[in-house]
Amino acid sequence: MTTFKSVFEQFDWETIKTKIYSTSASDVERSLAKIKRNLDDFLVLISPAAQPYLEQMAQLSHELTKKRFGKTIQMYAPLYLSNECQNICTYCGFSLDNKIKRKTLTDPEIKLEVEALKKAGFDHVLLVTGEANYTVNINYFLNAIEQIKKDFSIISVEVQPLSTEEYTQLHQAGVYSVLVYQETYHKEVYKQYHTKGKKSNFDFRLETPDRVGSAGIHKIGLGVLLGLEDWRTDSFFNALHLDYLQKTYWQTKYTVSFPRLRPAEGVIKPNFIMDDKDLTQLICAYRLWNEDVEISLSTRENEKFRNHIIPIGITSMSAGSKTNPGGYVVDPQSLEQFEISDERSSFEIASIISKSGYEPVWKDWDRTYF
Amino acid sequence: METSLFKIGDKELQSRLFLGTGKFGSNIQMEEAILASGSELVTVALKRVDLETDTDAILSHLKHPGINLLPNTSGARNAKEAVFAAQLAREALETNWLKLEIHPDPRYLLPDPIETLKATEELAKLGFIVLPYIHADPVLCKRLEDVGTAAVMPLGSPIGSNKGLKTIDFLEIIIEQSKVPVIIDAGIGAPSDAAKAMEMGADAVLVNTAIAVAGNPKLMAEAFKEAVIAGRKAYEARLGQQYKHAIASSPLTAFLYE
């Protein structure tokens, strides 16, 4: 099977980086003037040369997003099922070498957590785990999904990379979307951050969205962990990946998110700083290039940024999130994957969305379609 | 003077403007726009409503006398999913009207003609009043008539694009040939597009994005209402033929009458 790997290997990190950093103002103006923009325009729009055009980009992004998605923001919440992990990733709180108490939720514990999410109004849930294939594997996922599928219209998963057969099983069990972030597309740097465990296999992770796509999953989520490497170059590769997937698995929807490295217990600080202006530029560049990709913003970001970014290009937001297994009810003290920044409740966020003139959408799928 | 009534299935409608309910900044705005539009038929995506409660946030804003619900199957990727969803909608919303939408392509939401034809046939047999969303394909329209469609809903341009009647030449053929009502759906970006569709002889138009994301949705809904009425009146009054060139002042055939 041909995968993204064959496309990826045609590109060289340093060449792309040089291209991004040698973009000129006239390149930016030409890209902004276009009606349909391609990947070359995306490269131009994430360059330092495009920063002075940020307000214009934001205005265009606002209009394009409104046209495609209307004045709506989808609401979702993560549900961390486990922090067991056999990988060493130097930026992550769940890393194997981090000597903390490990927890994987049992059926009765999942029930309690789900009740808390339902009380908070959620109908879209994102299941998250580390990578512990012996205990938290396809059987664990299928059991959890069977238990909660009556409670949610959309179930998404962000777990370890699986096989095509396993993704097919998840699809049949009622999983709507699968999120898998490459973290960084810089192959050598990837190895430095992922020193041990199955995750250290760069290519296996790179080809994961192909397996998700061929299993017929409705939506695929991509992203890079911003702060590991130069965000502009990494984002170009992420966009290249998205472009390939959209052409290959054309019946699938796509979403991107932009996790910036957050503090967590026992982990490294970001090597590359991405400030709020940079993140805004990246969101706008995605929208100007790709009018129909969904863009999600998590509670990693602070209140002020989240309040103001609503009309600029995003389409979904999490709220009131806990990033530790049992964090809502069962064991609020267990170890978090990272510290969240926006601690407001789901209803507070919904009211902020409404005040911005947008409708918070809790339900946008029906189990009928499975 | 009122424009003429028209009929879909066994229902007589006065308003020739149908509305979509997505993309509004709030449900209140949606309700105000619908009331201002005078629309009697509004479409609502099954995937957006919670059929298990009686207090769904969208449906509670659509309960007005004279407003009929047209559930749609947006999200269905094939005939099987659409037929299943339709049956669920009929049960829960107590209407056998259905806007059939099958778009396997989530980017441009273009309709799948093969699955749509299949689903229309099946649903018509099950007693549904089917209004399928389709490409502006005159042959497909005739095929849909053959299997019992209640109307056809060809697109003017891609959904949400606000590009207007890009498919105009094919829409003209469809209107000329059709035995069922023709409702132009998708892409109508301005009241002038809606007026143009009505002048051409379309039976109705469906508008969503252009109203929902307008600065003032209620005022835009009124503008569309008036445009649709104006366009229909022009059609009923019989528009003068447009000539590309002036008629020559020394006619070629004048000698015949000398």
pLDDT digits 0-9 by tens, B9-18: 888 999 999 9
Q: Determine the pLDDT at residue B38.
A: 94
Q: What is the mean pLDDT of residues B203-221?
A: 95
Q: What's the pLDDT at B247?
A: 62
Chain B residues whose CB is inside 8 A of the A358 CB are 25-26
Q: Do residues A252 and B106 lie in contact, with contact meaning Cβ atoms separated by under 8 Å?
A: yes
Measured CA to CA, the distance from residue A310 to residue A317 in angstroms comes to: 9
Contact of A175 with A125, CB cutoff 8 Å: no
For A67, which of B27, B84, B213 is closest by C-beta distance?
B213
Name the percent of chain B lying above pLDDT 70: 93
Whether A246 sits inside 8 A of B46 (CB atoms) is no
| Partner B, chain A 221-250, Cβ-Cβ below 8 Å | 246, 250
φ and ψ at A279, to 5 degrees?
Answer: -65, -40
**Hey, are the CB atoms on B47 and A253 less than 8 Å from each other?**
no
CB B82 within 8 A of CB B88: no
Does the beta carbon of A182 lie under 8 angstroms from any beta carbon of chain B? no
Q: What's the rounded Cα separation, in Å, for the pair B117 and B134?
A: 9
Whether B171 has a pLDDT exceeding 70, the answer reads yes
Q: What is the pLDDT confidence band of residue B155, given thresholds at 50, 70 and 90?
A: very high
pLDDT, one tens digit per residue, over A279-315 is 999 999 999 999 999 999 999 899 999 999 999 999 9
Convert the pLDDT of each residue in A211-238 to its tens digit: 999 999 999 999 999 989 999 999 999 9
Helix/strand/coil for B13: strand
Cβ-defined contact of A357 to B212 (cutoff 8 Å): no
In total, how many domains does chain A have? 1
pLDDT at B161 (0 to 100): 84
Contact check, Cβ <8 Å, B161/A67:
yes
Confidence band, pLDDT 50/70/90 cuts, at residue B246: low
The CATH homologous superfamily to which domain B11-257 belongs is Aldolase class I (3.20.20.70)
Query: Would you say residue B238 has pLDDT above 90?
Result: no
**Average pLDDT over all residues of chain B:** 90
What interface predicted TM-score (ipTM) does this complex get?
0.70
Task: Give chain A positions within 8 Å (CB) of B115.
Answer: none
CATH number of the domain bearing residue A86: 3.20.20.70
**Structural domain for A35, as ranges:** 4-369
Half-sphere exposure of A194 (CA within 13 A, CB side): 24
Tell me which residue in A251, A292, A363 faces B48 most closely, judged by beta carbons.
A363
Residue B160's pLDDT band (boundaries 50, 70, 90)?
Answer: confident
| Half-sphere exposure of residue A322: CA atoms within 13 angstroms, side-chain side | 22
Q: Is the pLDDT of residue B244 over 60?
A: no
pLDDT along chain A (370 residues), means of 10: 93 96 95 92 97 95 94 96 90 85 93 96 96 93 96 96 97 96 95 90 96 96 94 97 94 94 72 90 97 94 93 95 91 80 92 94 85
CA dihedral B55, B60, B66, B72 (to 10 degrees): -80
Tokens 């009054």 locate to: B237
Please check the confidence at residue B106 and state whether its pLDDT lies above 90: no
Does B106 contact A361 at a Cβ distance shorter than 8 Å?
A: no
pLDDT, position B54: 64
DSSP string for residues in A185-214: S-HHHHHHHEEESGGG-HHHHHTHHHHHHH
Which chain B residue has its CA at the smallest distance from A365's CA? Answer: B47
Which residues have a Cβ under 8 Å from the Cβ of A128 and sit 6 or more positions away? A78, A79, A80, A81, A157, A158, A159, A323, A337
pLDDT at residue B241, as a whole number: 63
Q: Give the start-to-end residue ranges of the domains of chain B.
A: 11-257
- Secondary structure of A41-108 as H, E, C letters: HHHHHCCHHHHHHHHHHHHHHHHHHHHHHCCEEEEEEEEECECCCCCEECCCCCCCCCCCCCCECCHH
Residue of B nearest to A71 (CA): B25
pLDDT value of residue B199: 94
What is the SS3 assignment for A174? coil
Q: Do the beta carbons of residue A84 and residue A104 sit within 8 Å?
A: yes
Tell me if residue B99 is catalytic. Answer: yes
